[in-house]
Amino acid sequence: MTADTTHGPAALREILRFFADSGVDEALDEVAADRFAPAAQAGPRRAAAPGRPAGEHRSSPGAPAPQVPPADGEERSPALPDMAAAEALPAARPQTASVPDEAQAARARELARSAASLEELREILAGFDGCNLKFTAKSLVFADGNPDADLMLVGEAPGRDEDIEGLPFVGRSGQLLDRMLAAIGRDRTSAYIANVIPWRPPGNRTPTPLETEICRPFIERQIELAQPKVLVNLGGPSAKTLLNTTEGILRLRGNWRVHVTASGIAIPAMPTLHPAYLLRNPAHKKLAWRDFLEVKAKLRELA
């Protein structure tokens, strides 16, 4: 006889992982409701047939139907109609989720081109509804720092702390980034910071290629309007998106590349390791230190 693992620890972990990937990060009740108990104790509920007294069981006249109380925190649902009543009801209209497509990417390119300033671009993004990430995020995370700075840093997407604050790189990764900037004599008053994706993906999942393609025109226009002298790509996704490459970040980092804007302006770009990666792999901080020294020298050269 084998043990029933339907509701075992492994299955519960999968359920929790599903909720986390869906963006569920807060519990609504102090005590979890056991929603398996009612289903295990009673079969499907059926209402009494027309003309039959309420509470009378269909298959056993005169015997009361078993009543199963709802679990704690569970709302009571109305009884299901019998088959005759159900046939008289109009068919429910199927609900389909709005899925972004290539048309939204084309619309994003058109809207991004129309922005004449960074503030106008922010307003356009705030009103843009072509990316589903907007509807699962709490905040639009547009930018932080000084838009007139000669140095711009671009990551991939906001995390939980960034989504709450509405600013990029404010969590542990942001604290490390601040120290990295301080090491070359910079801070957020002398740097401009943004992300390729301005909304937090649910559960911090990786943005899909289509989501990235929809958001790409906005960050490219943001770079073009900011006009930095040097661009730093924080992590592989930022580098791959803005430098049009498929190489991994460990091969890209430390080597100067060029980001070309839509108007043809070439901006020196330094791909480097993301602060979140450095928190997990502190031995590689020395590599990022070398990259930031290169950035410091390039800024001095272009001053």
CATH code assigned at 117: 3.40.470.10
pLDDT tier at 57 (50, 70, 90 boundaries)? very low
Q: 292 lies in which domain range?
A: 102-302
Count how many residues are written for the chain.
303
Per DSSP (E only), the strands in the chain are: 144-145, 151-155, 192-195, 230-234, 257-260, 266-272
pLDDT tier at 287 (50, 70, 90 boundaries)? very high
The model's pLDDT over 192-215, given as tens digits with 9 standing for 90+, comes to: 999 999 999 999 999 999 999 999
Task: Give me the pLDDT at residue 211, please.
Answer: 96
Region 39-58: mean pLDDT is 44
Residue at 287 is within a domain: yes
Residue at 75 is within a domain: no
Residue at 54 is within a domain: no
Residue at 238 is within a domain: yes
Residue 277 has pLDDT above 90, yes or no: yes
Residue 262 has pLDDT above 70, yes or no: yes
Bigger pLDDT: 179 vs 8: 179
- Using alpha carbons only, what angle is made at residue 13 by residues 8 and 19, rounded to the nearest 5 degrees? 130
Cα–Cα distance, 82 to 52 (Å, whole number): 12
Residue with tokens 């960034």: 162
Region 113-133: mean pLDDT is 97
Residue at 273 is within a domain: yes
Q: How many domains does the chain have?
A: 1
Task: Give me the pLDDT at residue 102, please.
Answer: 83
The side-by-side arrangement of strands in the sheet containing 151-155 is 144-145, 192-195, 151-155, 230-234, 266-272, 257-260
Residue at 59 is within a domain: no
Residue at 1 is within a domain: no
Task: Give me the pLDDT at residue 31, please.
Answer: 59
pLDDT tier at 131 (50, 70, 90 boundaries)? very high
Region 95-104: mean pLDDT is 61
Residue at 86 is within a domain: no
